[in-house]
Structure 1
């Protein structure tokens, strides 16, 4: 190939009328060369020969190279080492050149049109593992992220695990944070959501469909080796890692969640180049198009249905956890909350206990407050118990007298235990139990307690010694404790 200077000279001489023979003689090139470049429209250009085409020694390893580079994310040097172990004969430079050619061929397949969704139409969901310092140790966590595709408004939440329960909880918390639900949710084909990822026999996880059906959201999965279809949720993880995870230290998991929420709020107020505004500002337009949230959270935890033992303990996840004594021998719901604590619910869905999950299994975790209502109170005089009962339940003199008739020998015991129930149940609930006792003419502590455990939820308040009379003023208590003479009829009426 001739140089640019020679080509220019050929053009200039020929335009001046110099013959091809004379041009070739002056420039010391052949006449055919002169004719070749006079017939070409443009200047001479260097064209590299296809030295590494089908003749490359790496051509026979193309499938393995693509698998290692795209799926296993190996760099060129690692691919070279792995293939050498398998008997490949090519050079390192030859592999790099061949890999470059593969990547150039792949560019055409990656060129695509930018895709945008309408407001409220789609959200994208994904998670990523990280190792962070929590307290005095390093722990592995998973950060879930849901981003609304239109506004780029996002929500992060962390968990110690990535179980299906934690996935459901992360999505639910995001929906509550948004104040509504999108029409579609785009995600990977992870086992928590997909039972069979093969496109020919693709099948969603039944419970996951039930979960999204509860919220009225259509599930979508992106294509294999097409991560750009959910690229909006990929970029926030890079920002999270560089601006929150790296160098972050947290006192405990609650501190991590709190700081992550603060980071999320600030990130949503940061200008986004893709939409040329802040996600928070654009979310104001999108939230009007979100679907309505159900009143309650999704509950489908048949595998987490547990019976409480008579020692007020239940087994879950290899450990035993205490619950308030009122739920002994009852069935309750149990779930793991983001992998770091256990939440226990009554049959009506009210939370009755929470425990941190220990790192070592086989532990028994007990809260003393769950047993305090079982303590036997110091004996006190019958007049004091009568006065306290009528103060708590004015107008229930009939119940008091019939209890005294039916339980002559143990009147004081039953009355004291009924009064003690007000420490863990609402006063109006205990009153309803007394009404039921009057209706069925049954007067004892056991019936009142059974009615409450079957129909009411515990409202625990820490018990303090002497709290049965904590509302009485000091003068009243002194007057009751002083030496007094009573008619023996008081005791005869109760069999005491």
Structure 2
């Protein structure tokens, strides 16, 4: 009973002089309610004491389950507390769980213009192949076109490289790009005062877009890319296997072009690729003539052994640049080393640890002046073919053959026929106890004849290898087949008869 009902009952009884039964009948109330209202001189809305609930012994367990598993369903909670003896229904449990959840906030839907905005974020994807990985995502807010690429880390260099690749994929640049407070974008933030990463600002100025940062803990301000993260995890990564990061990116590109960007988008009710081509692509900022150099750059000093250290590994440089201060630039695929502005060495980047990555050409001019050192370098190059190669050289050392000469000849075979064929010949020779470069060459040629491949790839001139000419087989041709092209009629050597 509220205060209006209480006051009206008293008015009808004391002023209108109606009987209690009449008041109860007129207001459709129980007579006891009328008597209780008349007995009260002042109105007091006392809450009835709450009755004990079957949920009371399980409230702490319910709260713990919801804290540990934020997305847990009421059905699962019901299953868990029943194990502890709860015998009540699920309806009061639903009401209790609903009271523990924070109220959902409401937000305005903001429509963006073509080419006006994109949103960018990282998504942690665990391990792919033998290394950790993260997914870079860029979504055009108008057309919902998506670009994704997987990187081995969320470094600034990979972050910038992802932007460049996305710009080229879209063939243009949006006017504004939204971010959360990534370290690659924001170094420090105190309220509205933002300290941007200087290199990132330089990158943004190069491509003429305006970087925009969301408020702290406000993922709804870049909801399009947040939804894209969920879409990638549930639609692409789920139930797929990847042999390596390269394999993952290849599958991701296929999924992006044949699934993500050609589906009917849930909110746009159209295919992102159609909206992009018809309305958004022409509104993007044109690409600059040259791309920003996104590689990691640092100064390094080469050792007396012609090696520079980067990311726990060592990479070779030409011997004239030994013990010099050099510049190293690295991206996710290559490590490039410069002497001032001149490129002097480039290697495939290794993600193993404590490896030595060498180019034999870098010390080739040094080997003539260090014959003993040359033999060791040749031996290491042969051992790199595999375990069988090391065993073969150990057995070769027990013969009376001159090792330095044998090493050089085996390296010549590698240059001529390739590592795989020489490695196979070494394994065959090791099984039959045939030691020496002559045996290896004969085994390779025999294998080639069996495959009808007598010409080695990258054949050098006959001056370098004069015996090679004798091993080349040329198919015999009937000379008459050329006559039809030259229109020459062959005459008989004998005198014509009169």
The TM-score, its normalising length taken from structure 1, stands at: 0.54
Corresponding residue for residue 117 of structure 2: 122
CA distance in 1, matches of 2:49, 2:356: 71
Quote how far apart the aligned CAs of 1:244 are: 2.3
* Conserved? CA contact 2:137–2:149, under 8 Å: yes
Q: Cα gap change, 1:133/1:169 in structure 2, threshold over 3 Å: closer, same or farther?
A: closer
1:283 and 2:284 correspond: no
CA distance in 1, matches of 2:320, 2:271: 51
Q: Cα gap change, 1:297/1:251 in structure 2, threshold over 3 Å: closer, same or farther?
A: same
Corresponding residue for residue 144 of structure 1: 136
Partner secondary structure for residue 114 of structure 2:
coil
CA distance in 2, matches of 1:237, 1:28: 58
* Conserved? CA contact 1:308–1:332, under 8 Å: no
Quote how far apart the aligned CAs of 1:202 are: 2.2
Q: Cα gap change, 1:264/1:348 in structure 2, threshold over 3 Å: closer, same or farther?
A: farther
CA distance in 2, matches of 1:29, 1:222: 59
* Conserved? CA contact 2:139–2:146, under 8 Å: yes
Q: Cα gap change, 1:201/1:99 in structure 2, threshold over 3 Å: closer, same or farther?
A: farther
* Conserved? CA contact 2:142–2:280, under 8 Å: yes
Partner secondary structure for residue 285 of structure 2:
coil
1:14-57 CA-partner distances (Å, limit 9, x unpaired): xxxxx9946847989329769x9xxxxxxxxxxxx7999xxxxx
- The one of 177, 182, 185 equivalent to 2:169 is 177
CA distance in 2, matches of 1:152, 1:471: 62
Q: Cα gap change, 1:258/1:374 in structure 2, threshold over 3 Å: closer, same or farther?
A: farther
* Conserved? CA contact 1:133–1:248, under 8 Å: no
- The one of 142, 150, 154 equivalent to 1:158 is 150
Corresponding residue for residue 492 of structure 1: none
Corresponding residue for residue 431 of structure 1: none
Corresponding residue for residue 271 of structure 1: 264
Q: Cα gap change, 1:51/1:372 in structure 2, threshold over 3 Å: closer, same or farther?
A: farther
Quote how far apart the aligned CAs of 1:370 are: 4.8
* Conserved? CA contact 1:21–1:31, under 8 Å: no
Q: Cα gap change, 1:323/1:99 in structure 2, threshold over 3 Å: closer, same or farther?
A: farther
CA distance in 1, matches of 2:184, 2:193: 17
Quote how far apart the aligned CAs of 1:129 are: 0.9
CA distance in 2, matches of 1:324, 1:51: 88
Quote how far apart the aligned CAs of 1:146 are: 0.6
Corresponding residue for residue 331 of structure 1: 326
Corresponding residue for residue 251 of structure 1: 243
Partner secondary structure for residue 250 of structure 1:
coil
* Conserved? CA contact 1:308–1:314, under 8 Å: yes
* Conserved? CA contact 2:265–2:272, under 8 Å: yes
Corresponding residue for residue 9 of structure 1: none
User: Where do 1:282-301 residues align within 5 Å?
Assistant: 282-284=275-277, 285-299=279-293
Quote how far apart the aligned CAs of 1:350 are: 6.7
* Conserved? CA contact 2:317–2:344, under 8 Å: no
Q: Cα gap change, 1:326/1:297 in structure 2, threshold over 3 Å: closer, same or farther?
A: farther
1:359 and 2:352 correspond: yes
1:318 and 2:312 correspond: yes
1:218 and 2:210 correspond: yes
CA distance in 2, matches of 1:324, 1:345: 10
* Conserved? CA contact 2:143–2:272, under 8 Å: yes
Quote how far apart the aligned CAs of 1:113 are: 1.6
Corresponding residue for residue 230 of structure 2: 238
Quote how far apart the aligned CAs of 1:265 are: 1.4
Corresponding residue for residue 30 of structure 2: 29
1:449-496 CA-partner distances (Å, limit 9, x unpaired): xxxxxxxxxxxxxx9795696899x99xxxxxxxxxxxxxxxxxxxxx
The alignment's C-alpha RMSD in Å is: 4.6
Corresponding residue for residue 190 of structure 1: 182
Quote how far apart the aligned CAs of 1:276 are: 1.3
* Conserved? CA contact 1:142–1:161, under 8 Å: yes
* Conserved? CA contact 1:132–1:248, under 8 Å: no
* Conserved? CA contact 1:334–1:344, under 8 Å: yes
* Conserved? CA contact 2:318–2:344, under 8 Å: no
Quote how far apart the aligned CAs of 1:133 are: 4.4
How many pairs does the alignment contain? 323
* Conserved? CA contact 1:315–1:321, under 8 Å: yes
* Conserved? CA contact 1:186–1:220, under 8 Å: yes
Structure 2 stretches lacking a partner, 5+ long = 2-18, 38-46, 51-62, 74-91, 369-456, 470-498
1:112-160 CA-partner distances (Å, limit 9, x unpaired): 22012111111101011112441xx4x3211110111111111111111
* Conserved? CA contact 2:295–2:331, under 8 Å: no
* Conserved? CA contact 1:125–1:187, under 8 Å: yes
* Conserved? CA contact 1:321–1:355, under 8 Å: no
Structure 1 stretches lacking a partner, 5+ long = 2-18, 37-48, 53-64, 78-93, 377-462, 476-496
Whose RCO is larger (CA < 8 A, sep 6+)? 1
CA distance in 2, matches of 1:51, 1:367: 85
1:275-298 CA-partner distances (Å, limit 9, x unpaired): 111111111121111112122221
Q: Cα gap change, 1:357/1:149 in structure 2, threshold over 3 Å: closer, same or farther?
A: same
